[in-house]
A = this chain, B = another copy of it.
Amino acid sequence: MANSKYAYVRNFELPDPLLPGCFLVCRLDGHAFHRFSDEHGFTKPNDERALELMEHAAKDLMSEYNDIVLAFGESDEFSFLLRKSTHLYNRRHAKILTTVTSYFTSCYVFHWPEYFPGKPLRYPPSFDGRIVQYPDEQAIRDYFAWRQADTHINNLYNTVFWALIQQGGKTTAEAHATLTGTVSSQKNEMLFQRFKINYNETSARFRKGSVVVREVATQDATDANPMPPQPPAVQAETSRPSPKARKGDKTKMAIQVLHCDVIGDEFWKARPHLLAG
């Protein structure tokens, strides 16, 4: 072959296997999304369309990769849990990481017009990603608890912050100053007293983030859906089961988006397969 004398350069490609027996968490973060959300007029403090687009991309990714058993998203970030025994791409680090990051990005751009009709992308958005290895179930539980606690903290702050600005007529500097040093109960009180907002009645999508799992599909997707009557915390939307999932399973499984608590035991006890070997 004409290129055989150069082929030695492949020797510089070193193996990069991830450790067997570990759970893998791949977390994606929007790159410079502060500017991106400004340029594209995202609603503050939360843009429902933008969050739904993130969820759509996450569901597409899980349809493509059965070894992703759980995802959690908030704002411009999404975390994906690969089951600990996954053999995806022989557990090659860069291969898994780039494929997940690239496909998620592609889905985000691909589906943009469905969520922002009439508002074309002004420039290509991107995400960075990392894979973290976790050796045991407790660390996984704590990882998702960490992200959901973060969601709560950020969303409560942002909800009051933007109420102060949008309804209270404050500048951003004033809003910041008002909130400095306040604890959760004070923020809740401020919301209720000044703006008649009961934080716990705001959208669970904003308060709890987006939990994506494969669940047994129900006949009536509307029942599963967030709007009433619902179990207070849990709100689910049904997506079409992926061809792969359908083929492999007897019961009809579908990728669902929930806005439920993942800090307590209930979520995990009801889904023992998430942490199984």
* Interface stretch (choices A135-143, A201-209, A215-223): A135-143
| CA A127 to CA B92, docked complex, whole Å | 15
CB neighbours (8 Å) of A8 from chain B are 142
CB neighbours (8 Å) of A129 from chain B are 94, 98, 102
- Pick from B9, B149, B184: contact of A134, CB under 8 Å: B9
Given contacts A6-B143, A132-B12, A133-B19, contact A125 B149 (CB under 8 A): no
Q: Is the CB of B103 within 8 A of A106?
A: no
Q: Is the CB of A3 within 8 A of B106?
A: no
- Whether A177 is near chain B, meaning CB under 8 Å from some CB there, is no
What does the 1/0 interface line of A90-131 toward B look like (CB < 8 Å)?
A: 000011011101110111111000000000010111111111
Q: Is the CB of A153 within 8 A of B17?
A: no
Which residues 22-42 of A sit at the B interface, judged by CB distance below 8 A?
22, 28, 31
Tell me the minimal C-beta distance from A104 to chain B in angstroms: 8
Given contacts A6-B143, A150-B3, A153-B1, contact A31 B102 (CB under 8 A): yes
CB neighbours (8 Å) of A121 from chain B are 110
| CA A13 to CA B103, docked complex, whole Å | 23
Which residue from chain B places its CB closest to the CB of A123 in the assembled complex?
B110
Which residue from chain B places its CB closest to the CB of A184 in the assembled complex?
B2
Tell me the minimal C-beta distance from A64 to chain B in angstroms: 9
| CA A139 to CA B135, docked complex, whole Å | 12
| CA A130 to CA B131, docked complex, whole Å | 14
| CA A102 to CA B136, docked complex, whole Å | 30
Q: Is the CB of B132 within 8 A of A103?
A: no
| CA A40 to CA B115, docked complex, whole Å | 24
Residue pairs across A and B with Cβ atoms less than 8 A apart, 17 shown, are A2-B149, A3-B153, A8-B142, A12-B19, A13-B130, A14-B17, A21-B136, A21-B139, A22-B22, A22-B135, A94-B130, A95-B130, A98-B129, A99-B126, A106-B124, A110-B121, A110-B124
Interface residues of A (CB under 8 A from B): 1-3, 6-9, 11-15, 17, 19-22, 28, 31, 60, 84, 94-95, 97-99, 101-103, 105-110, 121, 123-136, 139, 142-143, 145-146, 149-150, 152-153, 184
